[in-house]
Copies of this chain bind each other. A is one copy, B any other.
Amino acid sequence: MIFTSQHLLSVKDISLEAIHSLFAVAEQMRPYANREKVTRVLEGAVLGNMFFEPSTRTRVSFGSAFNLLGGEVRETTGLSNSALAKGESLYDTAQVLSGYSDVIVMRHPEPYSVEQFATGSRVPVINGGDGANEHPTQALLDLFTIKNELSSLGKDIADLRLTLLGDLKHGRTVHSLCHLLSLYKGLKVQLVSPKALALPQKYIDMLTNAGHDVQTGDNLESGLSKANVIYQTRIQEERFSTKEEADQYKGYFRLNKQIYSQHCQPDTVIMHPLPRDSRGNANELDNDLNKEPGLAIFRQTDNGVLVRMALFACILGVENQLAAYERKVNWQVGVR
């Protein structure tokens, strides 16, 4: 298994073979995450969940994933009082912290900081997000969700007609997803964004070079009508260079029940990296979509637990031992 005892620092490190292995393990995690049974395969292991930049949901997702495998979690949140703020190098921090745990998840506001950190670590390091650079587990859970949603519609990744929608210029989740998609061939990808927030050319080239059919535009309707999966990201008005341009697109990429019903094919899957802004004036997914079966945003975060469990299991080399440490669930389980 390609991940064993290695770092996961970048989506660029991941082969298609590794993805398929990882996703097969993630599928095996479902009964444990759904509380049909318990595995204690990592009982006694310690995760260092080092969030030098706050991110409640990502931190708790990693921590829960480790707990669901039976392991313990030590963690930190925030940079201000840490030794890093006193001039300690990332190398030193890694040397010290890797003496306290079996695997480390690290999030840090500086691009490439996690890579630097990994040079000093004596245990595997997973990049939990390094500023504007990467957030590889988000890309993995996004791809896993695309495959799963298609599968539950009786389709395959080869059938993907993906529309990336919104601010495609700044979103690192979209960029990382492009990297993973470029491992496949012949997919249909539409890029729908305001001109000022278009996907950078290097990612367009990446998709094109992979042999994908890439269409670009700023027309929402046509973007929606051809897709079977929509991946929406937030547009923030301050991203535009002029107020006139911002006003021109105001509310234009907003998706609600009426627009979805009118323009999308039935069963079209809606994804979003979350959080979505649910305030009245937000350019986002409306709450009136909450009952739509196609709204996959919470299945997406649930999948994050599966993928992170699989990642820990593969990196620590226990993916074939899950059943050996299995127990029944003796408590009453909620509606999951």
**Which A residues are within 8 Å of any B CB, using their own CB?**
4-5, 35, 38, 40-46, 48, 54-57, 59-61, 63-64, 67-68, 70, 72-74, 76, 78, 81-83, 86-89, 91-93, 95-103, 121-124, 274-279, 282, 287, 290, 298, 301-302, 305, 316-318, 321, 325, 327, 329-336
Residue from B35, B63, B101, B276 in contact with A102 in the complex, judged by beta carbons closer than 8 Å: B35
Complex-state Cα separation, A92 to B287, whole angstroms: 9
* Given A86-B277, A282-B87, CB of A40 within 8 Å of CB of B44: yes
Contact indicator B74/A67 (Cβ below 8 Å): yes
* A-B residue pairs in contact (CB < 8 Å), sample of 14: A5-B332, A44-B70, A59-B76, A60-B97, A61-B100, A72-B73, A86-B275, A87-B277, A91-B287, A95-B298, A95-B301, A99-B336, A122-B334, A124-B334
Contact indicator A275/B99 (Cβ below 8 Å): no
The number of times this chain is found in the oligomer is 3
Complex-state Cα separation, A123 to B44, whole angstroms: 25
Within 8 Å CB of A121, what residues of B? Answer: 334
A interface, by DSSP: helix, strand, loop or mixed? loop
Complex-state Cα separation, A333 to B101, whole angstroms: 10
Interface centre among A64, A102, A325, A331 (most CB of B within 10 A): A331
Complex-state Cα separation, A317 to B277, whole angstroms: 36
Residue from B61, B92, B101, B327 in contact with A276 in the complex, judged by beta carbons closer than 8 Å: B92
Complex-state Cα separation, A202 to B320, whole angstroms: 61
Contact indicator B331/A318 (Cβ below 8 Å): yes
Contact indicator A316/B336 (Cβ below 8 Å): no
Contact indicator B98/A334 (Cβ below 8 Å): yes
Contact indicator A123/B87 (Cβ below 8 Å): no
| Chain B residue nearest to A279 in the complex (CB) | B87
Contact indicator B76/A60 (Cβ below 8 Å): yes
* Given A122-B335, A275-B87, CB of A56 within 8 Å of CB of B81: yes
| Chain B residue nearest to A325 in the complex (CB) | B330
* Given A302-B99, A321-B330, CB of A278 within 8 Å of CB of B92: yes
Residue from B44, B56, B86, B99 in contact with A329 in the complex, judged by beta carbons closer than 8 Å: B44
Nearest chain B CB to A59's CB is how many angstroms away? Answer: 8
Complex-state Cα separation, A331 to B325, whole angstroms: 12
Residue from B48, B68, B275 in contact with A60 in the complex, judged by beta carbons closer than 8 Å: B48
Complex-state Cα separation, A336 to B124, whole angstroms: 11
Contact indicator A76/B100 (Cβ below 8 Å): no
| Chain B residue nearest to A70 in the complex (CB) | B44
Contact indicator B334/A317 (Cβ below 8 Å): no
Contact indicator A334/B56 (Cβ below 8 Å): no
Contact indicator B316/A89 (Cβ below 8 Å): no
* Given A70-B44, A81-B56, CB of A332 within 8 Å of CB of B305: no
Q: A57-B97, A87-B277, A96-B298 are in contact. List 5 more A-B contacts (CB 8 A).
A: A5-B334, A56-B83, A91-B278, A102-B333, A121-B334
